[in-house]
Chains A and B, each alone.
Chain A
Amino acid sequence: MTNVNVTFYGVLAELAQKPSISLHGVSDTDELKQQLLQQYPDMAKHNFIVAVNNQLINKNTSITNGDQIAVMPPFSGG
């Protein structure tokens, strides 16, 4: 059973009300996104990217136990 740590950035951390969570039983990044949106429906309003072990991913990518996941929206302030 996979167990991964998900770190939130920007407004996503605000929506989750914490900087990171553990997720269990997700096998790829599409599943991970689905589970996040189920848990935090307001995240669907935001554009965000997913990184697995610090690498930005552009397509569905498999996740293995212990992977470090980051989800991040673009910032715009200056």
Chain B
Amino acid sequence: MMLSKDEINRYEKQIRVNSIGYEGQQKLKQGRVLVIGAGGLGCACLQYLTAAGVGHLIIIDGDVVSESNLQRQTLYHTDDIGLPKAETIAAKLKKQNPFSEIRFLNEFLSVNKAIELIPQFDLIIDCSDNFGTRYLINDVCVAFQKAFISAALFQTEGQLGVFNLRLDNNFSANYRDVFPESDKSNSALDCHAAGVLATLPGLFGIMQANEAIKYFVSPSTCLINELLILNAVSMQQFRLKLTSATGVVVPLDRIQEYRYNLPCAKQDNTEMNETQISLVLNGNWAIIDVRDSNEEPSLKNSQIQNYPLQKVLSNHEGLKQHQNMLMVCRSGQRSRQAAGYLREVYPDKNIYSYKHGIEHLLEVLNHVK
């Protein structure tokens, strides 16, 4: 696959690197990478994979942006709070490099999804934040003989390894070779509970992208049969030598029944459609119009309160009195963000977004009258 003149201009500096060259850049363009997790590691890793010219990327994450992410998940901004991470980051990456094909899935990796997706890619990057997902990625990658690059963080320290890389006669060590699963696995805290230095996911996400480039260009130079540990305070590095193939493998037919402790979507059923709307019209619900106050058509109805999205994100006090809220805007985008955000703030309230937008809601309201 030839590089266009524009691509050669864009990647010129990288093509000049002896170990990459034109051929290496072509390999990156053909590369198909699945990135699991669009949090701190994902933000850093994806930004560099996209910049470096990896041709095909798919991002899977079921989480939404929350305020406490912004300190380290640098591709999200205050305006993105409440939006799905995978979709939001994909939109930014598309602007970053039009030569990369960027796709996304707003869902957490399930066992079935892992079995469906992983065989379709050359390389898997584990940017997840929980053990259930890490073991699932490992087991499916081992079953389908796919290499994966994993990083994980704790406060000011991180771990990085390239696992299950095909060698001459066998495969390099995998995650279970390093950390056999234990019923104590869940005692390790995630970033949210344990705290994490802002720059740490950046350092490790970029190292993952660095290993990914090497995987496509010269796989023998990847960090295999080793686990790298870096302390970002002391800046001391420790390289743990691993022995591959300790024999801990979960066969594919058992993965389906294996009990992975996977995260579940907080965003389930945020959107409400026209058939569900009768619930709102009959019950004790507030309809919150999150458009700016000057947008047409203006709504005059005792059940409807105008409360623009920016105000929702900055000061939601005025909505506190409602137990049940249906957010609405012109097209369903801003209302979805508002609902996602408010669900984080008020986990006990019933908060939905009307997916068909304001014009459609008006029609439904008129029809009911």
Contacts and interface: CB of A to CB of B under 8 A. Distances in A.
Contacts of B151: 78
Contact of A54 (B39, B188, B189, B241): B241
Interface string A17-32: 0010000000000000
A51 B131 contact: no
Interface string A63-78: 0000000101111111
Given A49-B178, A56-B243, A78-B127, A73 B188 contact: yes
A45 to B, nearest CB: 5
Contacts of A10: 154-155, 157, 188
Given A73-B188, A74-B131, A76-B188, A54 B152 contact: no
B241 A56 contact: yes
A51 B159 contact: no
A47 interface: yes
Interface residues of B, number: 43
B229 interface: yes
Contacts of A73: 154, 188
A49 B155 CA distance: 19
Nearest to B158: A75
Best-surrounded residue of B42, B158, B184 (most CB of chain A within 10 A)? B184
B189 A70 contact: no
Given A54-B238, A54-B239, A9 B191 contact: no
B130 interface: yes
Nearest to B132: A76
A75 B187 contact: no
Given A45-B184, A45-B187, A72-B229, A56 B153 contact: no
Interface residues of A, number: 22
A11 B188 contact: yes
Contact of A9 (B37, B229, B239, B246): B229
A72 B242 CA distance: 13
A76 B134 contact: yes
Nearest to A55: B241
B204 to A, nearest CB: 9
Contacts of B271: none
Contact of A77 (B189, B238, B242): B189
A11 B179 contact: no
Contacts, number: 99
B40 interface: yes
B130 A76 contact: yes
A58 B187 contact: no
Nearest to A19: B234
B129 A47 contact: no
B188 A56 contact: no
B154 A75 contact: yes
A72 B39 CA distance: 24
B190 interface: yes
B185 A74 contact: yes
Contacts of A75: 152-154, 157-159, 188
Interface in B188-222: 188-192, 194, 196, 201
A61 B134 CA distance: 28
Contacts of B40: 77-78
Contacts of B68: none
Nearest to A58: B246
A74 B187 contact: no
B42 A47 contact: no
A74 B159 CA distance: 8
Interface of B: 37, 39-42, 127-131, 134, 151-155, 157-159, 178-179, 182, 184-185, 187-192, 194, 196, 201, 227, 229, 234, 238-243, 246
25 contacts: A9-B157, A10-B157, A10-B188, A11-B154, A11-B188, A11-B194, A45-B184, A45-B187, A54-B238, A74-B134, A74-B152, A74-B178, A74-B185, A74-B188, A75-B154, A75-B159, A76-B129, A77-B40, A77-B129, A77-B153, A77-B189, A77-B194, A78-B41, A78-B42, A78-B127
The 10 closest A-B pairs by CB, nearest first: A77-B191, A78-B129, A75-B152, A77-B153, A47-B182, A74-B179, A47-B184, A75-B154, A10-B154, A78-B41
